[in-house]
Structure 1
Amino acid sequence: MWKTYAKIAWRNLKKGKRVALINIFGLTLGITAAFLLFTVVSYELSYDDFQSNSDKIYRVVTQDEYADGLSYNPGVSPPMPDALKEDLSGIEAIVPVVSSSVFVSIENAVTNTGENKFIVEDVFFTTPDYASLFDVEVLAGNMDVLDNPGQVVLTESEAKKLFGTWENAFGKSILLSKRVEAIVGAIVVDIPDNSNFKFNMLASYQTLKSNAEVFNYNFEEWGSFGSNFQVYLLLAEESDATQLDQQLLTFAEKNYKDRGTSKKSFFLQAMSDIHFDNRFEPISGEMIRKATIYTLALIGVFILIMASINFVNLSTAQAIGKSKEIGIRKVMGGSRLQVIGQSFGETFIVVLVSAIISSLVATIMLPYLSKVAEVPETVQLITPSFLLFSTAIILGVTLLSGFYPALILSGFQPIQALKNKIQVAQIGGVSLRRSLVVMQFVIAQVLMIATVIAVKQMTEIQSADLGFSKEAVYYFRIPTDEVKDGRMDVLKQRLESNSQIKSVSVSSDVPSSGNNWASNFWFDGKREDVQFITFLKYGDADYFENYGLEFVAGGGYSESDTLKEAVINETMAKKLNLTKPEDAIGKTITIGGSEPWLTITGVVKDFAQNSLREEIKPFVIATQKSNYEVLGLKLDGNAGQETLSNIEEEFKNFYPDAIYSGTFWDESIANFYRRENQLALIYRIFAVISIVISSIGLYGLISFLVGQKLKEIGIRKVLGASITQITFMLSKEFILLVFVAFAIAVPLGYYMTDQWLQNFSYQTKVPLGLYVIVMLVSLLITAATVGFRAVKAAMGNPVDSLSDE
């Protein structure tokens, strides 16, 4: 019986090839989109789920409560790991993890390139207990080597980079930061890409402690908090995170009461939250907001619903054409259940074919997925979870798409069906189909609104007044492990003599970066902490001109190697309750609440120290040569590759043992918004897909209406109606559908985009004209889709439409 049903279903599909192809095309679009979005969402949700102890691993994080709000830090102070071991109970392991990049040199180059100097990123200084928390597969050696100073563990790929093969690396000697000897005591398998603990090297924590001055750490300084100095706990089976949070509150009260300008507290962050909590950046890799994940999943659901709506509209439009077939089947003894089975069979075949095509299309598109999402090019489509998801999609879409058509077809009365007397009301009328099309246009317009606003926001951010000049600024880092012996000053002078370089400045950092350096401070001769912290940058006297920082009061300071004078920003002046910026000139300030007192010489216009997602912070800029490690250059407009090559050559002349890496500043700033730009691109892509699917839905509805009004069209033509009049008659009601959809889409689109814009301190203004543009585009799409089918119907021969069988 089922074999017969399958044959009949296949014949019916072949008979209605045009509608079947339209259905397959629409469903293929929707299912392909769902498959690709599933790949992105499942990849993001899979971060570190391969860790066998993931449900018992927690990070200790820091919260500072100031008079004007809360501040969060994923790191702790250097003395805390040992102190926590003394004060906490119910813990199986306490593991410090200190992330850094390290200059590595080897005595004899063994790689094909002949290089013997490398910068190794994502180096974790830690203890042997790291392997108790996190899953690590050892290829050679033993993780216990991390209990001793001068021992490192390399990943397989990093070992190959340094020594040619990982086998060559095992047991070899390397030099860290040019002064610390270490032995490669173990080789481990590379950590998967979907991990926020992806390291290239593990170095023993004892190496860091015994060479604290080399790596610039003070293990007695309780007030020093860095985001890269983190602590992880493995809870005992009987322990509860809430109880540990109470112990951490007691710990904070014991060690930080009346210390500094904030009320400091610590609490546990579950490992499952690390990839999604934007308050605390992960120690390595990317993080993503859960709202973004939900948005992507919702887009996939919407696209599938739109594709299913199309199927419903087109299938019910065909229902009258199948009435005689249904009538004969029922007269021959067929039950309603059998008709439903037959209808679902046809739907299943269409969905199955669409899903197979979608799998092929998604596989072809997979390598390009990394362009619009933070997934590696090696991500796999066919996985056990994908097979389960695709099965659910096939069954779900079959049910969603096939239920209503099956219900309608199975309800035909045999006599009426055989006489071809099935009426519109008997197949649900047009009101339901209009509602479904309105739903499609609501989804499409919401995506269009989101696309327009996201693109506008990112365009304005890229062209916003950041308070500095980022164009033609090139910078590189001076090696911090080199002795400060005057070479930096001479290098600066040499570069200043190049006619293609307008200005040069040495500093601790460029004005806008992902770095934050903060401190307590005293102000205006009062020897007490001001009740908020200030953020810091150190730069020479050329810093302000080189980066185009504008003064609203006073000016820059004189050249000095040590702390002497300072410049603050407008926000700092306002938070100090100064009436106007000029009032700051001549007042004094200290950094860290200790001598010397610095005289404020100027106030610069506020500039974006980080991305425009963050609010402007109070800032102090001062001179302190010991902290300089960045050399920035303002290039002439005619400067080209030859100038960049000359800069690199000069660097190597002064620092022959260092690794050179220059970057254009505007490229670094653009990298702040990589995730947002990707999301804006996703909105664009799926807005186009939704428009295409909506057009198919419109075509299905107009086809249905034309089928019901053939006699009316014929009579009107016989009575003298023109093609234009008939086309207008068929099209006018769709204009109303667009307006109804627009009225629903605007508040939904506004709410979604407003929530997204809350992530930025700088937010674009959304003029009413943007919403009007979305409506006009919808009207144009409607006119093009409906007009084509309406004109075709209006041009038909009235004799054919008025004939009655």
Structure 2
Amino acid sequence: MLKNYLLIAARNLKISPTYTLLNIAGLALGMAGATLIFFFLNHHLATDRHQPNADRLYRVVLDLHLDEGIVHESGSAFALSSVLGRDYAGVEKAGFVRKIPMVTFSAGSGQATKRFMEKDNVAYADQGYMQLFDFKWLGHNAVKSLQEPFTVILSQKLARKYFGTEDVTGKILRLDNAHDLKITGIIADSEHPSDFQFDAYISLPTLKTIEPSNWISDYGWISSRNYTFVRLASGAHAARIEQLITKNGKTYYGDNAPYFRHHLQPLADIHFNENYDGKIRKSILWILGGVGGFLILVASINFINMATARAVRRAKEIGVRKALGGTRQQLFWQFTCETALVTVLAAWTSNLIIIPLLTPLNNWTHTQAFQFSGLFSLKIAVFALVIWVTIILLAGFYPAVILSGFNPVAALKSKLGPRQVGGIGLRRSLVVVQLAIAQIMIIGAMVMMLQIRFFRKADLGFDHKGVIKITLAKPGQVPVNRQSLRNDLLQYPAVKSVTWEHDAPTSDMGFGGSVRFDNRTEWEKFVIKNRYGDADYIKTYQMPLLAGRSFSDRDSVPEFVVNEEFMKKLGIRDPEKMIGKMMEDGASGFQGRIVGVVKSFHLKSLQEGIEPCVIYARPDQYREVAVRLDMSNFWQTLARIRRTWEAHYPGEVFNWEFADEKIASFYDREEQLTNLIRLFAWVAIVICCLGLYGMVSFMVTEKTKEIGVRKVLGAGVDNILALFGKEFLVLIVVAFAIASPLAWLIMNKWLSHFAYRIDFHWWLIASGGLLILPITAFTIGFRVVKAARMNPVKSLASE
């Protein structure tokens, strides 16, 4: 019986190729969109979920409770990590890792030496960290080697990159052209998404030699690059450990203990919690999940509309089957098999759509979420089965019930009306749903695009255009002859200014802390952020001075330049009153004089408000050179800069980027969402057009004779177009009335996450309806014009 159902279904689909192709195209687009969204959601939701004992793994984070509010910090001190693993009974294991923003490695020797620069994929780690997370060792487990200084564990990717083989244990890597590291082990490249797996792990004792300071015992040595992880014993409670840390706070922080509140952040929360540098909000994932559901719904509505539009043409077939003894149940399963066959063909076609999009989507989203191998995973297989069943239920059930219920006598006499084929009212409602969904997605995409454009065009309080940043070969170790490099670069007419710095004014730099102003005995009740550069820092970034001058970088009493927000926090309105005042920077311990006040600028992305800041010289923290250029002959100038750089750093890696590129990267997360929503908005529009075509096909079929009569009585094509256009205009208006408040609520909620955002004008809401109107007109017009040009004699002759 099933074979018979499938054979007849295949014949019917072959008889109506246009209908079949439209249904397959609509369903394939919906399934492809939903599957790609599933790839993205699965990547983020699975991040670090593969770790052993993931439900007992926590990161130690910090809330600074200040008078002006709570400051969230994802980092913690090594000193706290060591006591947690030793003194707290509920902590089974503790580990510490320190991310390195950039580092250079040299492999080989003599003329065969190769140098590489790595960014954000290298870290200092202790033995405990490596035991908390999941690593697959190629060869022996070398975790104990991290107790020794100047050892490093590499991923197989870096091993192949540096030496062309994975058999590198015992070989030497040179760190920052200054320290030799012995490779003691190789770990396999991770097959799972993770926020805390690096390509190189340098032993933490190495840091004690490279950065000799009190970092081991100083509980205040807190940075957003320092992470402490703990695994709790079975039955231990995170809240209890937090209480114990608070209870012992005076031992760690003295009189400042009330300001420090540590929390244990569950591993499952780290990827999504923006307060502690999470990568993406879960609400964004639910929005995308909703978009995937909408695509399936819109595609299913398509199928229903076109199946019922075609029902009249199949009336005689159904009548004959019933007259020959076919039961309603048999007909129901016949039409269900047709839906299943179309869905299978659509699923196969969706893969042809998905495969070419995998690489572009990885580039768009800056992830590896979209992998070809993922198409053959168990999760995708289960998801595809669920989608297949869902579409059959959504798209196939209603048409099957309607078609199998035809009265055989009425069907054979061709006397089936709108009520018998499902009612035009329901199909109008379904089209309204389609149009409303499409308009919501159009409005959402436009708001997101404008917000991203606002981010990129906004005035940050300084000029970052035309500035390139060159990474230092050995961060923090500025050569004595840095003035010589500056002078050599300034010989080129296109070079306007040069400054040594830690980072640009707007950056992810997290240095900062308490401040004491004007020789006061008490520290201020707010914290400040620090920016480090030499005397030309303000000139290079063209930061407007409100009073005073730039600081000097001589080795005498430190000089500070503060921003306008710092002045406002102190309750001072006149910038001139800041000049000459003394201050102490708690982060560095430097005491000096304020010599200038600059206009407030954005230290981080526009998602956050402006913070008080101090700028001063600190050569031990410089890690790059910023160069302001005349961009008229950029590539020739860059080649000259490269030659000069290599003359000062022979054989080192010349690594550069535009300052505005780094700033733009702060909005990668929002741009990912915008690109995805924009893509799937167009998918929804295309599916919607197919649905409109199905709806108008049904209406044209119903009014074929009416069109013929009107043409005989003198109606032109424009009159026929107006006949159908009025009805669809009403549908668009109704859909707009539904979509507008929903889009307003959703996008206002999204915009509320940003400290600086666009104004949500009425025309943004209107844009959804205005864009869908010409698309609808074209889709409808194409089908109606075809019917309007039909010879009326043919349409009337069938009476």
TM-score clears 0.5 = yes
Answer with 726-735 or 188-197: which moved more: 188-197
**Kept after mapping to 1: 8 A contact 2:106/2:113:** no
**Kept after mapping to 1: 8 A contact 2:693/2:779:** yes
What SS class does the counterpart of residue 420 from structure 2 fall into? helix
Deviation (angstroms), 1:6: 1.6
What SS class does the counterpart of residue 258 from structure 1 fall into? helix
**Kept after mapping to 1: 8 A contact 2:115/2:653:** no
**Kept after mapping to 1: 8 A contact 2:476/2:623:** no
What SS class does the counterpart of residue 70 from structure 2 fall into? strand
Answer with 377-386 or 289-298: which moved more: 377-386
Residue of structure 2 equivalent to 1:375: 367
Residue 543 (structure 1) aligned to one of 537, 548, 551: 537
Residue 231 (structure 1) aligned to one of 228, 233, 249: 228
Residue of structure 2 equivalent to 1:357: 349
Q: 1:350-429 maps to which residues of 2 (within 5 A)?
A: 350-376=342-368, 378=371, 380=373, 381-429=375-423
**Kept after mapping to 2: 8 A contact 1:477/1:630:** yes
Residue of structure 2 equivalent to 1:219: 216
**Kept after mapping to 2: 8 A contact 1:87/1:251:** no
* Residue 774 (structure 2) pairs with residue 780 (structure 1): yes
Q: 1:85-104 maps to which residues of 2 (within 5 A)?
A: 85-100=85-100, 101-104=102-105
Answer with 397-406 or 473-482: which moved more: 473-482
Q: Distance in 1 between matches of 2:233 and 2:356?
A: 47
Deviation (angstroms), 1:596: 6.0
What SS class does the counterpart of residue 225 from structure 1 fall into? coil
Residue 249 (structure 2) aligned to one of 252, 257, 260: 252
Residue of structure 2 equivalent to 1:108: 109
Deviation (angstroms), 1:711: 2.8
Deviations 1:314-344, CA, capped at 9 Å, x for gaps: 1011112222222222233322211111110
Q: Distance in 1 between matches of 2:793 and 2:395?
A: 35
Residue 333 (structure 2) aligned to one of 341, 344, 360: 341
Residue of structure 1 equivalent to 2:784: 790
Deviation (angstroms), 1:520: 0.5
Change (3 A) 1:217 1:410: farther
The aligned amino acid for 1:550 is: P
Q: Distance in 1 between matches of 2:401 and 2:590?
A: 84
Q: Distance in 1 between matches of 2:446 and 2:725?
A: 27
What SS class does the counterpart of residue 411 from structure 2 fall into? helix
What SS class does the counterpart of residue 776 from structure 2 fall into? helix
Q: Distance in 1 between matches of 2:174 and 2:720?
A: 85
Q: Distance in 1 between matches of 2:631 and 2:335?
A: 69
Residue 709 (structure 1) aligned to one of 700, 703, 707: 703
Residue 589 (structure 1) aligned to one of 575, 583, 591: 583
Deviations 1:442-468, CA, capped at 9 Å, x for gaps: 111111111111111112221211111
The aligned amino acid for 2:396 is: G
Deviation (angstroms), 1:109: 5.8
Q: Distance in 2 between matches of 1:129 and 1:504?
A: 43
Q: 1:676-715 maps to which residues of 2 (within 5 A)?
A: 676-715=670-709
Change (3 A) 1:148 1:432: same
Q: 1:254-273 maps to which residues of 2 (within 5 A)?
A: 254-256=251-253, 258-259=255-256, 263-273=259-269
What SS class does the counterpart of residue 456 from structure 2 fall into? helix
Q: Distance in 2 between matches of 1:708 and 1:119?
A: 67
What SS class does the counterpart of residue 634 from structure 1 fall into? strand
**Kept after mapping to 2: 8 A contact 1:123/1:201:** yes
**Kept after mapping to 2: 8 A contact 1:562/1:625:** no
Q: 1:527-542 maps to which residues of 2 (within 5 A)?
A: 527-542=521-536
* Residue 637 (structure 2) pairs with residue 643 (structure 1): yes
Deviation (angstroms), 1:405: 0.5
What SS class does the counterpart of residue 696 from structure 2 fall into? helix
Residue of structure 2 equivalent to 1:277: 273
Answer with 675-684 or 524-533: which moved more: 675-684
What SS class does the counterpart of residue 784 from structure 1 fall into? helix
Residue of structure 2 equivalent to 1:332: 324
* Residue 244 (structure 2) pairs with residue 241 (structure 1): no
Deviations 1:393-421, CA, capped at 9 Å, x for gaps: 11111111011111111222222222222
Deviation (angstroms), 1:347: 0.8
Change (3 A) 1:251 1:717: same
Residue of structure 2 equivalent to 1:731: 725
Deviation (angstroms), 1:726: 2.5
**Kept after mapping to 2: 8 A contact 1:614/1:761:** yes
Q: Distance in 2 between matches of 1:187 and 1:763?
A: 47
Residue of structure 2 equivalent to 1:69: 69
Residue of structure 2 equivalent to 1:301: 293
**Kept after mapping to 2: 8 A contact 1:560/1:624:** no
Give the aligned length: 795
Q: Distance in 2 between matches of 1:49 and 1:82?
A: 25
**Kept after mapping to 2: 8 A contact 1:126/1:203:** yes
Residue 736 (structure 2) aligned to one of 739, 742, 745: 742
Q: Distance in 1 between matches of 2:648 and 2:661?
A: 26
Q: How many percent of aligned residue pairs carry the same amino acid?
A: 36
Change (3 A) 1:750 1:663: same
**Kept after mapping to 2: 8 A contact 1:561/1:624:** no
Q: Distance in 1 between matches of 2:283 and 2:588?
A: 44
Deviation (angstroms), 1:309: 0.5
Change (3 A) 1:118 1:672: closer
Deviation (angstroms), 1:619: 0.8
Residue of structure 1 equivalent to 2:127: 128
**Kept after mapping to 1: 8 A contact 2:534/2:553:** yes
**Kept after mapping to 2: 8 A contact 1:527/1:593:** no
* Residue 597 (structure 2) pairs with residue 603 (structure 1): yes
Q: Distance in 2 between matches of 1:434 and 1:482?
A: 68
Residue of structure 2 equivalent to 1:494: 488
**Kept after mapping to 1: 8 A contact 2:115/2:652:** no
**Kept after mapping to 1: 8 A contact 2:478/2:620:** yes
Q: Distance in 2 between matches of 1:445 and 1:401?
A: 22
Change (3 A) 1:612 1:563: farther
Q: Distance in 2 between matches of 1:594 and 1:154?
A: 33
Residue of structure 2 equivalent to 1:159: 159
Residue of structure 2 equivalent to 1:553: 547
Change (3 A) 1:743 1:46: same
**Kept after mapping to 1: 8 A contact 2:580/2:595:** yes
Residue of structure 2 equivalent to 1:45: 45
Q: 1:608-627 maps to which residues of 2 (within 5 A)?
A: 608-627=602-621
Answer with 471-480 or 734-743: which moved more: 471-480
Change (3 A) 1:721 1:484: closer
What SS class does the counterpart of residue 114 from structure 2 fall into? coil
Change (3 A) 1:253 1:20: farther
**Kept after mapping to 1: 8 A contact 2:155/2:186:** yes
**Kept after mapping to 1: 8 A contact 2:530/2:613:** yes
Deviation (angstroms), 1:125: 2.5
Deviation (angstroms), 1:55: 2.1
Q: Distance in 2 between matches of 1:594 and 1:625?
A: 12
**Kept after mapping to 2: 8 A contact 1:553/1:603:** yes
Answer with 732-741 or 371-380: which moved more: 371-380
The aligned amino acid for 2:516 is: W
**Kept after mapping to 2: 8 A contact 1:94/1:234:** yes
The aligned amino acid for 1:585 is: I
What SS class does the counterpart of residue 274 from structure 2 fall into? coil
Deviation (angstroms), 1:485: 5.2
The aligned amino acid for 1:276 is: F
Q: Distance in 1 between matches of 2:214 and 2:470?
A: 24
**Kept after mapping to 2: 8 A contact 1:448/1:774:** yes
Deviation (angstroms), 1:441: 0.7
Q: Distance in 2 between matches of 1:763 and 1:348?
A: 47
What SS class does the counterpart of residue 79 from structure 1 fall into? helix
**Kept after mapping to 2: 8 A contact 1:529/1:593:** no
What SS class does the counterpart of residue 782 from structure 1 fall into? helix
**Kept after mapping to 2: 8 A contact 1:563/1:623:** no
What SS class does the counterpart of residue 93 from structure 1 fall into? strand
